[in-house]
Structures are given as structure tokens and as C-alpha cells.
Amino acid sequence: MILSFYKLLTQRLDVSKDQIWRSLIQTPLYAGIPIFFILSVFFAPNDYLTIEILNVFYEMFLATLFIALIYFILVFLPTYLVQVLLKKYNVLNFFSIIAYAVLFTAIVPSLIMILNTAQINIIPFGFFLIFCFFSLTFALTNWVLLLRITNKSKTCSKLKFPN
């Protein structure tokens, strides 16, 4: 069981550039739905259905859209370029995707702090923790989508060319 799980994590993802592009575009759609519900549950008041709860849902929807916007502006293109490079050297797997997400999580907030030197106290430490959570969530979702594409193409090739 553990060995098969390890093989799954170290499986080389044999995907094309178009499949990487499509997966990166689908990532915020698949990851945004659970993020919306998690944020809504944490920030919803304990009362029954009131206007406040609807207001919280609206605010969490806007927060989720903001997170997706940050993803497309700051993360999408560098992640695409790195994944194409990893694919070129045949090291695109779970660990390389997560390692890049952790590295990128350290770089982007640092750049935000450097560019925002006049207002350094406005960005709290909690922002970094939230950014890390969403970064790893998006990376895990991206890996699952790429793994699904890889397994689907293997199944199709087995059907076309049986041994």
C-alpha cells in the first residue's frame, strides 16, 4: 500500500505543453470551490439564515475571485514555464510540483514586501500563511489534474494498442 502510494507520487507525468496549459487554467476552478466553502464556514456567523450569512457568502465569493486573480497574475505564467522545463528534463512529478509551490510561496510574498516598503506594516504574517495554504492547494489540484491526464492517456494508448 505504501509502496504503491510512493510510486504514484514519484510517477513521471508525461503530458504535453497544451495539457499543462489546460491544467493550469482549470486549477483555480477546481480549487476555488472548496476554498470558497472553507472560507464561508470559517467566517459565517453561528446564527441561522440571515442577511449576515448572505453577506459573508458574497464576501467569500469576492475573496475567492481575488485569490484566483492573484493566481492568474502572479503564478500562472511562471508555473507554466517551470512545468514545461521540468517536463523537458523528465522530472515533472508530485515532489517537483510541491517543491516549486513552496519555493514560489517564499518568493512572491518577499517580492510583495520589497515592492511595498513604504507600508511594510500593512502586510501581516497571517497573509503569508494564507498564501502558503492556497499555494499548496493549487499545486495539489494541479498535480491531480496532470495525473488524471496522464492516466487517461495511458488508458487510451492501451486500448488502441493492446499487447
Instruction: Give the span between the Cα atoms of 161 and 25, in whole angstroms.
Output: 31
Distance CA 13, CA 16 (A): 9
pLDDT grade for 143, boundaries at 50, 70 and 90: very high
Q: Examine residue 10 and state whether it is found in any structural domain, yes or no.
A: no
Asked if residue 2 belongs to a domain, the reply is no
Domain presence at residue 129: yes
Inside any domain, residue 142: yes
Give a yes or no: residue 8 inside a domain.
Answer: no
Give the tens place of pLDDT for each residue, 12-56.
998 999 999 999 999 988 888 887 887 777 777 676 667 777 888
pLDDT score at 60: 83
Domain encompassing residue 46: 15-154
Residues 6+ apart with CB under 8 A from 101: 135, 136, 138, 139
Which pLDDT value is given to residue 105? 78
Please write the tens of the pLDDT for every residue from 79-123: 999 999 999 999 999 999 999 988 887 777 777 667 666 555 555
Task: Provide the number of structural domains found in the chain.
Answer: 1
Domain membership of residue 7 (yes or no) is no
Residue 127 belongs to a domain? yes
| Alpha-carbon span 104 to 33, nearest angstrom | 23
pTM, whole model, 2 decimals?
0.78
> Is residue 106 a part of any domain in this protein?
yes
